[in-house]
Chain A
Amino acid sequence: MIDKKTIADPTTHYGSPRAATRHFMVQRLTGMANVLFLIFFVWFVVRLAGAERAEMVAVVGHPLVALVLAALVVSVVLHMRIGMREIIEDYIGEGRVNRFSLLCNDIFALGVALLALGSIAKIVFWG
């Protein structure tokens, strides 16, 4: 049974003992940022939906668009990693499956970030 005492006691390792407070703050800060990023994202999708490659390269290749898009990717990935961690911590009991799930979550988040940022970099620097 998880109650206030369990959560307040660091030896129960409920949540990450090293990073729980940081996760709490990062989740709220990236959440606020993502509200703004969503407005940008709507513009981005409407501007480029179904566009030819040349047009995508022209828009994504613009330094400001590329920087905002890259920042969006970082903010979204941080937010979704912490969100999924919280779900795993809540629904999957302590043990190997829990640790394996957290590992898969980290790999997925890292993969999404690297692929998205790599693609943006390719478009910006090599067209």
Chain B
Amino acid sequence: MAMSIMHRITGVAQYVGTLLLVAWLLAAALGETQLAAVNGFFGSWLGQVILFGYTWSLFHHMLGGLRYFTWDFILAFEPRGRETIVRLQVLGSVTLTLLAWALFVWM
């Protein structure tokens, strides 16, 4: 149940988070100064924290979606399978997020 709520919370986070992409594309369309301002915000500590959370949210929601597809086919639907698939999702989303940031940001 908690994971179902998490799917909704991460979904709502990305709903609002589309504004990040809109701001970026709009700034790029408008001009140098606007793009520099948006890049400056993304580069700030607050921007980085938001983007890190957004990355995890995206991976978590994506894996959650795959979990629901699996369940749509009544696979891993028994109690043990459910527990396993949920643990895999949490492990997967954290791993993917750390991997993406380690490879593309921190290194």
Contact = CB atoms under 8 A, between A and B. Distances in A.
Given A49-B42, A50-B42, A76-B18, A56 B69 contact: no
B35 A53 contact: yes
A123 B11 contact: no
Interface string A48-67: 01101100110010000000
A10 interface: no
Interface on chain B toward A: helix, strand, loop, or mixed SS? helix
Contacts of A7: none
Contacts of B11: 80, 83-84, 87
Contact of A80 (B18, B26, B35, B69): B18
A49 to B, nearest CB: 7
A57 B32 CA distance: 11
B53 interface: no
Contacts of B42: 49-50
Contacts of B14: 80
